[in-house]
């Protein structure tokens, strides 16, 4: 099993650069949440994201990554992750929209995702969004020096299970910072091995992907879009965090500068 083969500890100089790329990612993410409206196509959203990324001075960390054709990932409703902007996909009032963004700048990269809707959402949708966000925050709370990767996984899983949500297993969180995906993996479920011990300087993207229905997923014929097999709604929240001597620093939290 390739899980937990390795991990990366970043130098203080690298961490400074990573902080900047992460805050650029935050800017784009939070502007998009304000600007995305029903009636827009997902390609319009992707183009807008490209403009916002350029305005930060950075570039997309996703574009051309393993051949990915978009600036960001845009996944609606039953799409879990890796959705590609399309002129034929129009956001509807009742949709939930997940955007996953990574801005690259000065040889560092950010990674953050958020799922949101418009107006008053059905109770089940609100429950999914709340639980997924809380699962992320529970995982972050467990990301302290001396704990192991599995402690993060356990905290995420416990919160997801409390709402009987399907935990996507095929895709996991990961190390991040200089490259978009660095070791170790950060699963959203408890694994047989505990993984590396958390040490200051590790930067981890924690990203629960939770479904209202079963955890089973399938891939579209575009080779990218992942959706739930049963058509149930899926939510995705992601923060990148730095392990410190004290509480984890959420690098993708908006800073008041
Ligand atoms: Mg991401
Ligand atoms: Mg990620």
Q: What is the pTM of this model?
A: 0.96
From first to last of its 257 residues, what are the pLDDT tens digits of the chain? Answer: 344 569 999 999 999 999 999 999 999 999 999 999 999 999 999 999 999 999 999 999 999 999 999 999 999 999 999 999 999 999 999 999 999 999 999 999 999 999 999 999 999 999 999 999 999 999 999 999 999 999 999 999 999 999 999 999 999 999 999 999 999 999 999 999 999 999 999 999 999 999 999 999 999 999 999 999 999 999 999 999 999 999 999 999 998 65
Q: All domains of the chain, ordered by start, with CATH?
A: 8-250 (3.90.230.10)
Rounded to the nearest angstrom, the distance between the alpha carbon of 56 and the centre of ligand 1 is 18
CA of 113 to the centre of ligand 2 (A): 8
Q: How far apart are CA 49 and CA 250, in angstroms?
A: 22
| DSSP secondary structure letters along 182-229 | EEEEE-SS--SS--PBP-TT-EEEE--EEESS-S-EEE-TTSS-EEET
pLDDT at 257: 52
What spacing in Å lies between the alpha carbon of 141 and ligand 1's midpoint? 19
Interval between CA 238 and ligand 2 midpoint (Å): 7
């Amino acid at each position: 099993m390739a899980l937990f083969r390795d991990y990366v500890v970043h130098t203080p100089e690298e961490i400074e650069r990573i902080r900047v790329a992460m805050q650029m990612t935050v800017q784009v993410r939070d502007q998009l949440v304000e600007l995305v409206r029903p009636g827009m196509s997902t390609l319009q959203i992707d183009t807008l994201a490209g403009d916002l990324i350029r305005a930060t001075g950075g570039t997309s960390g996703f574009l051309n990554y393993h051949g990915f054709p978009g600036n960001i990932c845009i996944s609606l409703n039953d799409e879990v992750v890796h959705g590609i902007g399309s002129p034929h996909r129009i956001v509807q009032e009742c949709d939930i929209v997940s955007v996953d963004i990574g801005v690259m700048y000065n040889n560092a990269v950010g990674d953050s995702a958020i799922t949101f809707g418009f107006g008053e959402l059905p109770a089940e949708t609100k429950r999914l969004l709340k639980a997924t966000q809380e699962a992320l925050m529970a995982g972050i709370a467990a990301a302290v020096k001396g704990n192991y990767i599995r402690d993060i996984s356990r905290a995420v899983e416990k919160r997801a299970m409390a709402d009987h949500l399907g935990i996507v297993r095929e895709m996991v969180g990961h190390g991040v910072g200089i490259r978009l995906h660095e070791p170790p993996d950060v699963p959203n479920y408890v694994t047989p091995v505990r993984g590396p011990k958390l040490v200051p300087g590790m930067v981890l993207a924690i990203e629960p992907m939770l479904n209202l229905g079963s955890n089973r997923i399938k891939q579209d014929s575009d080779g990218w879009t992942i959706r739930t097999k049963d058509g149930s709604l899926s939510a995705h929240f992601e923060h990148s965090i730095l392990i410190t001597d004290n509480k984890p620093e959420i690098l993708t939290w908006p800073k008041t500068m």
